[in-house]
Structure formats: C-alpha cells, structure tokens
C-alpha cells in the first residue's frame, strides 16, 4: 500500500510540475520526503500531495527538501584555484569573451564564487545560473549570506565585495549584476549551447545512473569544443570518452574536438 501511495505521488508531481522523481535515487528521495510528510502531519503521500498542490509555502519546502540546497562560497577551495589559474586562462585565450553556466545553482554561492573570480581576473564573460527551485533562486537574487557560507571565501574578496549587516553579509551589485538567474529543470528542459564553462557540482549524486548518463550527454552537447565541465568532488566521470570528454584536471573535463 505504502509503495503504491509513493508511486502515485511521483506520477502526480510529474503531472503537476514536470519534475520526474523517478529519475532520482528512490531510497534516498523516499526517505527524505517521508520524513518531511510526517513532520507536516500527513498520514499518506496522497494527502501530502493535495496539500502541496494548494499551499505555495509547502510546495517550496518540498522542492527545497528534494534538491538539498546546501552550498558555500569556494566549496573545495583547491578546485577553484585550478579553475582560476589553469582552466580560465586557457578558455579566455581560446574564446576572448567566455560563456558560463552554473547549473543547479541552489542559493547562488556557486555562480557568485565564479563572478568574484571573473572580477578578480578582469575576465569578460556572460554567466547564466539556473535551478529548479524558485525559492532558491529568490534567495540567490537577494544575495544575503551567513558567515558560515563565507568561511572559505578569501578575506580580501569578502571585504571588497560584501556589505556586513548585523548577522549576515550582503553581496554587492557589482557581483550580482554579472549573473542572470533563471528557473530550469535539468532533467526536462532544453539546454543552451556554445558554453565555454559549465559548473554542475554535488547534484549528480542524487540521480539514477540512467539520468546521469543522459545529463552528461546533454552537457557535452552544450559545450564548445575545448569547453569545460566542472563537477563535484564525489562525481568523477569514469568513462569520459563516451561523452566526447577528457580529463583536464581532477573534476574538470574538456570537450574533445
């Protein structure tokens, strides 16, 4: 009965939103959503779906739980150093003005990290940032962060590009204005093309192997030859050649051709 209830929930969510929960790892997703449903006092997924389809706050909370919006500036700092000192110099030599995409950008720490690097290096670029969760995008556009989010951000960048409020830091418009935020479903929506750099980190771990395979194909098609896909520290691509990619550095994959 319980499985039938959850399967019906998956179908209802897909019909209402276009989000296919069947493409996420089932045990992980089911455990996460069951605890949220119980916390909110619904005895079945049928009742919970009825509630999220009527209540915007509940719906955004559901999206938030589903996508795990956990992020920090300069997460895994060593990898951002490689991006700044090795990958970006090559890309700018190749393209002049570069086109970048932060996919599944959560609450904005990742695209703003890239924006800070582009400002520091005086690189001319367009920067698209997308996420499935409108609540996360709204937070990203506000650009207000705790000191915990900034623990790995270089102090000179914090003092130059953030305004300190009582309990938080507000990112300055100079950084914000470099980023265009849009709602986008990686699993369902078409991708733009001709990117020099795509960053998609700590997202693939939630998807099934089939969904990952499909996404790597799409990311590869969205890159220019010589363009780079930057993935998370648990997301090594084991046979990159099947996606016309080759390792350029740890967690950086260059489009061949």
CB 244 within 8 A of CB 256: yes
Kindly give the parts of the chain with pLDDT less than 50: none
Q: What is the pLDDT of residue 70?
A: 61
Q: What is the pLDDT of residue 133?
A: 87
CB 73 within 8 A of CB 150: yes
Q: What is the pLDDT of residue 69?
A: 58
Rounded to the nearest 5°, which phi and psi values hold at 186?
A: -55, -35
CB 29 within 8 A of CB 21: yes
Close Cβ partners of 37 (under 8 Å, ≥ 6 residues apart):
45, 48
Helix (H, G, I), strand (E, B) or coil at 255: strand
**Angstrom distance (rounded) from CA 22 to CA 84:** 37
Give the total residue count for the chain. 257
In tens, the pLDDT along 24-40 reads: 888 888 998 999 999 99
Q: What is the pLDDT of residue 68?
A: 59
Q: What is the pLDDT of residue 20?
A: 83
């Amino acid at each position: 009965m319980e499985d039938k209830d959850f399967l019906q929930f998956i179908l209802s969510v897909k019909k209402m939103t276009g989000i296919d929960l069947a493409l996420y790892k089932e045990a992980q997703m089911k455990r996460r959503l069951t605890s949220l449903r119980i916390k909110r006092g619904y005895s079945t997924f049928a009742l919970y779906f009825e509630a999220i389809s009527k209540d915007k706050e509940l719906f955004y909370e559901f999206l938030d739980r589903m996508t795990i919006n956990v992020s920090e500036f300069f997460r895994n700092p060593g990898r951002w150093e490689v991006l700044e000192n090795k990958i970006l110099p090559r890309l700018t030599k190749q393209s002049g003005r570069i086109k970048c995409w932060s996919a599944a950008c959560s609450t904005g720490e990742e695209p703003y990290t890239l924006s800070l690097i582009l400002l520091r290096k005086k690189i001319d670029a367009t920067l698209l940032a997308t996420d499935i969760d409108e609540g996360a995008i709204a937070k990203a556009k506000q650009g207000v962060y705790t000191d915990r989010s900034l623990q790995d951000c270089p102090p000179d960048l914090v003092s130059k590009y953030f305004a300190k409020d009582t309990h938080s830091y507000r990112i300055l418009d100079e950084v914000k204005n470099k980023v265009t935020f849009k709602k986008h479903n990686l699993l369902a929506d078409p991708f733009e093309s001709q990117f020099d750099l795509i960053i998609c980190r700590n997202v693939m771990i939630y998807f099934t192997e089939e969904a990952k395979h499909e996404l790597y194909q799409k990311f590869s098609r969205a890159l220019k030859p010589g363009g780079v896909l930057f993935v998370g520290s648990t997301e090594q691509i084991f046979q990159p050649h099947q996606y016309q990619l080759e390792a350029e550095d740890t967690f950086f994959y260059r489009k061949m051709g």
